[in-house]
Structure 1
Amino acid sequence: MLEAIRSRAQGIFAWVIVGLITIPFALWGINNYFREGGEALAASVNGEEITTREFRAAFQRYTQQLRFLMREGFSEEMLDDPATKQRVLEGLIEQRLVLDAAGELGLGMSDSELSKVIHNNEAFQDETGQFDFQRYESVLNSQGLTTAAYEARLRLSLLSEQLASTLHLSAFATQQEMEDIARLRHQEREIGYGIVPSSKFRDAIQISDEELRQYYEEHPDEFRTPERVAVDYLRLTAKSLATDIPVDEQTLRDLYAESKDQFGTPEQRRASHILVQVPQGGDDAARQAAREKAEEALRRLQQGEPFEEVAKEVSEDPGSAQQGGDLGFFGRGVMDPAFEEAAFSLEKVGDLSEPVLSKFGYHIIQLTGIQRGEAPSFEEVREELAQKYRQQLAEEHFYEQAETLDNLTYENPFTLEVAAEALELPIETSEPFSRSGGSGIGANPKVVTAAFSEEVLQEEMNSRTLELGPNDLVVLRVKKHFPADIKPFEEVREKIQENLTLERAKAKAREQGDALVERLRQGEAPESVFAGEEAWNEKKFYSRRGEGIPREILKMAYGLPHPQSESPVFAGQPLGSGDYAVVGLYTVKDGDLKQLDEKARQSLAQEVEQMHGQVAYRGFIDELRAEADIKIYRDNL
């Protein structure tokens, strides 16, 4: 739509369009700019706002996760699906509901507890198993996260786990449930089977030229080649620009001096603390009482009582009290700001702080260890500096060139050569691809949509500038158009013969297999029925895991009804290979809970309880949603 307006927006027509756009903007759109706070809403939950900025950030994180997990399978079209945006927004709404519920239930996550979780994460530890703040920042940066954003998300995740755990405690597995599941899961079936191979019939099948041609004429769609195009294109990426940027030594040394702290290992401190909590919404009297309790603890410490003993007795931090208040090593940006400032202001190991007020209450802090920061030499980080410098300049240069690419391919709509010469970009050519995509650049849905658009395919114009990914742009035009056609008979003759031979061999196998099943049902012994080329696999008990038996046959056998007498149940079924399977079910032996060892019974009980807990958690969230005042502003998404 916008491209059509752009290509025709001249003279009086342009002013008419401007007028049509201005009227609804004046009546509606400009109101958003005068909204209190100056920011549009994506939703609100019980009066708490979820801004479009929060939604866009969450959507960006979701996009990054999809790209990382799906890799080549990722499609930009997924992001245009309204259901995807709704899924992200629902996640934000659920987060607000969980936070509110956790607060009402008195659940919480102190900074020290959060710090312990982070420090114990192996992804953030060095080779010796110690927390490495530089690695911590590096891992988060690779995912586009700041430490503050990650810790907020982690706190929410842990609160959700607390809430789920609280609900799981109410779940239990009944004896009857355990017995029913054990009976089905550990069931064994006595199965015998034989296979009629379709290959044995292939050599005897003869197909005439007349039959081949008749099939060709009656099934033209099977031999139709779809409409395809090959495109010329210009591709501009920041990565390709970075390779051509020279870097002089002095520039790198200046950059090293400016960003030296980023490459070094920051100072870390180890501390123990005693926490005296201040109740949420507590008044001045409650705050004063907490402070006096903290001061009393400080006096005891100053009089020589061991910190560990006082912490175990006084501290109200459940995550550290039993460890004598020990919080381990931590760097800046992890703890509450007031706590962190006090901890890093202590000069010597053993020093005590005055009572420090954080959002959790009053802390008495003792410094128990210092790890001084270390910075690598210039030579050790020179290549990394050069790469970052080139990347930074490349991104700046990329936006300038992107504008030039867009302008020149628009101003010269019937050629790519002008832009290619100005930007010194090669004109590349794709392999032919259809409307369902192809290989290389033709695998990208945006490229396919643009290539088959009326503007590009029919009017033979350049496409608009397409964004294939971050700092990755392409403009294309059709080089050659291949209309849909039907392949000539001689080209597909062998394929038709192969297909017809296979189908008739399958039919022969099924015909013989059905006859064998009927003979078995009449009471003949499998050994005599399968006395020819085929072999009968003697009956044997198989569990649902089915080791030593083809999966298709096992699935078929477990789908048969229980034998109602001493006579087995026989049935037949074509296999995916084209062969035909004949199966006999002799006996069904149910699993017995009593036969499972204690470990297996406990595992089964935990599984059932977890399942009930998940149902309870989901029901709890649904109940919160039903009772909440939720407003969604879809037009702002």
Structure 2
Amino acid sequence: MRNFKYLVLAFSAVLFMSPAFSEERIVVKDGATTLDYEELADTVTRWTPQMRRAAIQDEGDRLELINLALANKKLAAEAEDYVANNPDLAVEYRNGLLAYQRDFMLRSVAARVEMPDFTELAKEQYTVNKDKYALIPERRISSHILFSSPPGRDRTELTAEAQAVLEELRAGADFVEMVTLHSDEPGAENKQGKFNRWVAFGEEGVSPRYSQGVFSIEKVGEYSEIINSEFGLHIIRLDGIQEKSYKSFDEVKATIINEMETEYRRLAMKDFISQFQMTDDVIIDEEAINAILEPYNATE
């Protein structure tokens, strides 16, 4: 164990302080299993920043991470021996490798797609699709009186009571006083009935019925009709409107360009993959394919 710790400490000095060493240099050796500089350095690139900090700062964590890398290589070697001794698993093993090789190739090609400068096209998209990329929707703030009623309960009498209160408010009754007298919302009196949140139409986390009620009011200071929600009945007063506006191009530029780059990469990958589709010279053994599919005829 002492020799292993010494080797790991030497590796740490090499890896984190002075990387100018031969890529073939063995930095960890345990029996027949070795990790050379290049493969271990590649493993470190795939550690999280937290893992790298731990490897630098704590010898115990460093040993654990090196041990994991070594164990992975041992397991890979064990897989080769295991399949050699269990030939019935060879096809499954080969297909698993093929899947990794395919993903590896696609990731490598995708990472190397050269992107054009999309700035001018992004400006054009900003102008043409301003609502999509830059719209800040109208937001409203409100107050309300809640007449609490569980879902499913008959609300006929409660509706009449709420309607009477609404008529008093429209006739000039003091809203805060009516909140104190009638609202069933916890803390309504202290809040003076305020719904202390600016909301957009249909905003998540706000009852859809309440949202619709807020946006049905034409002018600040006016009241909605009686609004039915899952919480009961509401009389809503509109307290303020923030008109819709737009973010500047600079604020959304990165989002637009990222979207364009994603689509460009997708099309580039589609074009790349098309090279590997079946050719006109393909030969298909239909008899063999039918035999493979036959057991599934009755179950699929």
Give the TM-score normalised by the residue count of structure 2: 0.51
The amino acid of 1:295's aligned partner reads: Q
The corresponding residue for 2:199 is 330
- Which of the numbers 214, 221, 230 marks the counterpart of 1:359? 230
Aligned twin of 2:221: 350
**Alpha carbons of structure 1 residues 261 and 373: separation in structure 2 relative to 1, 3 Å:** farther
Residue deviations 1:493-527 (CA, integer Å, cap 9, x gap)? xxxxxxxxxxxxxxxxxxxxxxxxxxxxxxxxxxx
Residues 391/347 of structure 1: CA separation in 2 closer, same or farther (3 Å cut): same
Q: Which amino acid aligns with 2:161?
A: K
Shift of 1:388: 2.0
8 Å CA contact retained: 1:274, 1:317? yes
What's the offset of the Cα at 1:396? 4.4
Contact 2:134 2:248 (C-alpha < 8 Å) held by counterparts: no
Contact 2:179–2:189 at 8 Å: present in 1 too?
A: yes
Structure 1 counterpart of 2:297: none
| Structure 1 CA distance for aligned equivalents of residues 144 and 129 of structure 2 | 35
- Indicate if the aligned counterparts of 1:261 and 1:375 stay in contact, CA closer than 8 A: no
Size of the aligned set, in residue pairs, is: 186
**2-structure distance, mates of 1:275, 1:251:** 47
Task: Return the alpha-carbon distance in structure 2 between the equivalents of residues 314 and 242 of structure 1.
Answer: 65
Q: Which amino acid aligns with 1:300?
A: E
1:294 shift after superposition: 1.2
Q: Which residue of 1 aligns with 2:183?
A: 315
Aligned residue number for residue 40 of structure 1: none
Shift of 1:407: 7.4
Contact 2:122 2:253 in 1 (8 A): no
1:359 is matched by which residue type in structure 2?
Answer: E
Distance 1:236 1:294, change over 3 A: same
| Shift in alpha-carbon separation, 1:234–1:242, aligned structure 2, 3 A | closer
Partner in structure 2 of residue 254 of structure 1: 125
Change (3 A) 1:387 1:307: same
Q: 1:306 aligns with which of 171, 174, 177?
A: 174
Identity fraction in percent: 24
1:596-635 to 2 correspondences below 5 Å = none
Residues 235 and 307 of structure 1: is their aligned pair in 2 closer, same or farther, counting only changes over 3 Å? same
Secondary structure of the structure 1 residue equivalent to 2:195: strand
CA-CA distance at 1:271 after TM superposition: 0.1
Partner of 1:300, secondary structure, is: helix
- Conserved 8 A contact 2:122-2:256: no
Moved more, 339-348 or 290-299: 339-348
Do the aligned partners of residues 248 and 302 (structure 1) sit closer, same or farther apart at CA in structure 2, a change above 3 Å counting? closer
Of 141, 154, 158, the residue aligned with 1:270 is 141
Q: Are 1:372 and 2:243 counterparts? A: yes
CA contact (8 A) 1:274 1:321 kept: no
TM-score (norm 1): 0.26
Gap change, CA 1:359 and 1:379, over 3 Å in 2: same
- Taking a change above 3 Å as real, the CA distance of residues 376 and 314 of structure 1, as seen in their structure-2 partners, is same
Matched residue of 2:245: which SS? coil
Q: Which amino acid aligns with 1:310?
A: M
Separation in 2, partners of 1:313, 1:336: 24
**Residue identity opposite 1:391 in structure 2:** T
The answer (yes or no) to whether the contact 2:221–2:237 under 8 Å persists in 1 is: yes
1:277 to partner: Cα distance? 2.5
Q: Which secondary structure does the structure 1 equivalent of 2:256 belong to? A: helix
- Native 8 Å contact 2:113 2:265 kept in 1: yes
Residue type at the aligned position of 1:346 = I
Give the distance between the partners of 1:316 and 1:238, measured in 2 at CA.
62
Q: How does 1:459-538 map to 2 (within 5 A)?
A: none
Give distance in 1, aligned partners of 2:180 and 2:199: 21
- Distance (whole Å) between structure 1 residues aligned to residue 124 and residue 157 of structure 2: 55
Post-superposition offset of 1:322? 3.5
1:392, CA displacement in angstroms? 2.8
Matching residue of 2:55: none
Local SS of the residue matching 1:369: strand
Which whole-Å CA distance do the structure 2 matches of 1:351 and 1:237 have between them? Answer: 61
Q: Partner of 1:388 in structure 2?
A: 259
CA distance in 2, matches of 1:392, 1:371: 35
Q: What CA RMSD, in Å, does the superposition of the two structures yield over aligned residues?
A: 3.7
RCO higher in 1 or 2 (8 Å CA, sep ≥ 6)? 1
Q: Secondary structure, in 3 states, of the residue corresponding to 2:246?
A: coil
Note if contact 1:239-1:391 (Cα within 8 Å) is conserved in structure 2.
Answer: no
- The gaps in structure 2 that reach 5 residues or longer are 1-46, 52-72, 81-99, 283-300
Counterpart for residue 210 of structure 2: 339
Deviations 1:584-609 (A, max 9, x none): xxxxxxxxxxxxxxxxxxxxxxxxxx
Label 1:264 to 1:280 Cα distance change in 2 as closer, same or farther (>3 A): closer
Tell me how far 1:326 sits from its aligned partner. 0.5
Which residue, out of 143, 158, 175, partners 1:290?
Answer: 158
- 3-state SS in 2 of match to 1:236: helix
Judge conservation of contact 2:144–2:194 (CA < 8 Å) in 1.
Answer: yes
Are the aligned partners of 2:220 and 2:241 in contact in 1 as well (CA < 8 Å)? yes
CA contact (8 A) 1:264 1:375 kept: yes
Given that 1:247 and 1:386 are in contact with CA atoms closer than 8 Å, whether structure 2 keeps it comes out as yes
